[in-house]
Structure 1
Amino acid sequence: MKALVIEDSQTGLAVVSQHLERMGIQPIAATDGESGVALFREHNPDIVLLDVVLPGMDGYEVARRIRAIEQSGEWTPIIFLTARTADTDLVQGITAGGDDYLFKPISEVVLAAKVRAMQRILQMRYSLVVLTRKLDAANQELTRLTSLDGLTGLSNRRHFDETLMREWRRAARYKRPLALALIDVDHFKLFNDTYGHLAGDECLKSVANALQAVSRRPSDLVARYGGEEFALVLPETDLAGARNVAEGVCDSIRALQLPHGASPSGVVTISVGVASLTPGTGGPQNLIAEADLALYDAKSGGRDRVGFRQPETVAG
């Protein structure tokens, strides 16, 4: 443990330093406020023993400087050393950032008791900080888990809804396009009937991994929309860009060559409906409706393809 002692009296400094050394505490000595503040920056002591009366910068200003140096959440105990006993002096010291007072001449017994008390506070505070960090980490993990689909590890429907609303508002504010792709695994019921639900789950996981691999921009979101349906939110993307992404998605699923004996193609494929809007004052249901119609077009057109919609008017 290190203690910064700021005391202009060489005799007083030597006495306090000796007391600290007998307590197993390393003293760091300063005889004026400026050097005391500099030593605080350099050594980051565990406690500060600070004389009120100093040449140049007084102890109250030193305490204020130390508190200004500390980062958010940091706290170093400051004990003032003083011969002043008036209530106003005590109030001024506490207001400046001090935590306690030791009256001169310094008693080694009282100094040891005050330091032990500060050590207990420091330990309790450290334990509280550790606990708070653990709770924050647990809450972050809980938030992450509640936003994920349990089977595929993609974002779930709730996270999709929240993200789409947020991106819709942002696109409306900046008058930028927002695209959405709705994806459906072709003939998935027949896949389950043929291979069983466990194989169906593995199929969905494979499709999810392929979709995640295609989505390279940090702003894009791949989500499980429901059942065998997936969704891809594409901010700052017009219809042409969304169609290119959707075509790449179709190619990537086809390239998996997952056997599907009940499908005309013999492998697992997907149908994709894409739409792009520059939002006005309406809601994202406009975009979902257009993408859903585009998905219907892809299915009715023979599946394993991309359908697309771009309304003539901006959603409002």
Structure 2
Amino acid sequence: MKTLVIEDSASSRRILCGHLERLGFSVFAAADGHEGVAHFRAQRPDLVLLGLKLGDVDGFTVIRRIRQIEAPGEWTPIVFLTEAGDDAALQRGVAAGADDFLTRPVSDVALGVKVRAMQRILQIRQSMLVITRQLDTANQELNRLASLDGLTGVANRRLFDITLEREWRRAMRQGTALSVLMVDIDLFKQFNDRFGHPAGDECIRRVAGALATVLDRGGDLLARYGGEEFAVVLAETTLDGACFVAERMREAIVTLALERSDVPLGRVSASFGVACAVPMPETAASVLLAAADRALYRAKRDGRNCVRATDSLDPENALQETSA
């Protein structure tokens, strides 16, 4: 345990250092307050023992300066030396930031008991800090896992909803376009009924992987929306740009060549609905999502395995179509 002794009396300083060295501590000393503060800044000791009368600056000031040097979350035990019965000094020392005191003359036993107690408190504190860091890491991992879909590893519905709301507000502030894609694996119920749920799960995983390969911007989000449906948030993306992404995703799924003999194409495909808008205060993110959902259903009605899009949030307006 590295200990700093700050004491202006050479004889007292020598005695204190001798006591501490016999206890097995590594000791360095300072003869005045300014030197003590400089030593603390350079050496960062585990314990500080100081007198209150230091000549150039009083011990209360030294204590306060040491506490100012410590970074947030750091703590160094400080024990000050005082005369027996000096209650005012005790109050001022603790108020300045000290942790405990010893009365003069200091005996080997009293010093040993005090520094061992401070050492034990420091060890307990270090253990608690380690546990706290471990808990923080565990909580961060739990939060991450709580935002992911267990089957596919992409974002889940919860994270999608949070991201959509956040990006909607940001786009409103910046006056930029925001696009949403809704994706549905074509005739998936029939796939599950014919090939079984394990094959269905593997299909969903493979499709999620294909969709993820298309997204190359850090701010884009792919999420499993539920069942065989996926949703994508594309910040600062126009309708044409979103349709381009959707078409690449559609092609990526077909390119997987996941065979299914119960459909004319002979392989797994998906339908896409795309919606884009510049958010306004009188609208909500849910309206954009609903528009993308309507576009998705139009894609299904038009034969599936295609992209349909709209730049209108009004359900009465006709959709702007793009062919697959």
> Could you say whether these structures have the same fold, taking a TM-score greater than 0.5 normalized by the shorter chain as the test?
yes
Deviation at 1:124, TM superposition (A): 1.8
The residue type paired with residue 310 of structure 1 is D
Tell me how far 1:301 sits from its aligned partner.
2.3
Distance 1:59 1:215 in 2: 62
Aligned to 1:52: 52
Instruction: Please tell me whether residue 299 in structure 1 is matched to residue 312 in structure 2.
Output: no
Contact 2:288–2:313 under 8 Å retained in 1: no
Alignment of 1:172-187 (within 5 A): 172-187=172-187
Gaps of 5+ in 2: 315-324
Report what 1:249 is aligned to: 249
SS in 1 for 2:81: strand
Moved more, 73-82 or 213-222: 213-222
What letter matches 2:253 in structure 1?
I
Per the alignment, residue 78 of structure 2 pairs with 78
- 2:272 maps to a residue whose letter is V
Structure 1 counterpart of 2:200, which letter? G
Matches within 5 A, 1:18-29: 18-29=18-29
CA contact (8 A) 1:53 1:82 kept: no
8 Å Cα contact 1:6/1:51 also seen in 2 = yes
Q: CA RMSD in A?
A: 1.7
CA distance in 2, matches of 1:176, 1:59: 60
Residue identity matched to 2:252: S
Number of residue equivalences: 313
Write the distance in 2 (CA, Å) between the matches of 1:251 and 1:181: 15
Distance 2:25 2:91 in 1: 28
State how far apart, in whole Å, the 1-side matches of 2:84 and 2:211 are: 73
On the 8 A contact 2:287/2:313 being kept in 1, the answer is no
Q: CA deviation at 1:157?
A: 1.2
**Shift in Å, 1:97:** 0.8
Which residue type is aligned with residue 171 of structure 2? A
Q: Distance in 1 between matches of 2:270 and 2:44?
A: 61
State whether structure 2 residue 128 is matched by structure 1 residue 128.
yes
Aligned with 2:218: secondary structure? Answer: coil
1:261, CA displacement in angstroms? 1.6
Match of 1:231 in 2: 231
What is the CA–CA distance in structure 2 between the aligned matches of 1:220 and 1:312, rounded to whole Å?
A: 21
Q: Which amino acid aligns with 1:299?
A: K
SS in 2 for 1:28: strand
CA distance in 2, matches of 1:253, 1:222: 15
Verify the 8 A CA contact 2:277 2:312 in the aligned structure 1.
yes
Seen in structure 2, the aligned counterparts of structure 1 residues 32 and 84 have a Cα distance that, compared at 3 Å, is farther
Deviation at 1:304, TM superposition (A): 1.6
Q: Distance in 1 between matches of 2:254 and 2:124?
A: 59
Question: Which residue of the partner structure matches residue 265 of structure 2?
Answer: 265
SS in 2 for 1:222: strand
What does the per-residue CA deviation read over 1:87-137, in whole Å, with 9 as the maximum and x for residues that have no partner? 221111111110111122221111111111111211221222222222222
Q: Quote the residue 1:311 is aligned against.
A: 312
TM-score for both structures, normalised by structure 2: 0.91
Distance 1:36 1:245 in 2: 65
The corresponding residue for 2:317 is none
Residue identity opposite 1:154 in structure 2: V
Residue of structure 2 in register with 1:14 after alignment: 14
Q: What amino acid maps onto 1:306 in structure 2?
A: V
Equivalent residue letter for 1:146: A
Distance 1:84 1:178, change over 3 A: farther
* Cα distance in 1 between the residues matched to 2:252 and 2:120: 61
**Contact 2:234 / 2:242 at 8 angstroms: preserved in 1?**
yes
How big is each residue's C-alpha offset from its partner over 1:238-293, in whole Å with a ceiling of 9 and x where there is no partner?
21221121122112212211112222221211111111111112221110111011
Summarize deviations over 1:147-168 as a string: whole Å, max 9, x none. Answer: 2212111221122112211221
1:41 to partner: Cα distance: 2.1
Unaligned runs of at least 5 residues, structure 1: none
Q: Distance in 1 between matches of 2:67 and 2:310?
A: 60
Q: How does 1:62-77 map to 2 (within 5 A)?
A: 62-77=62-77
Counting only pairs closer than 5 Å after superposition, residues 142-153 of structure 1 correspond to structure 2 as 142-153=142-153
**Structure 2 counterpart of 1:285:** 286
Note the alpha carbon deviations across 1:56-111, whole angstroms, 9 max, x for none: 23221221121112122211100012337422211111111101111222211111
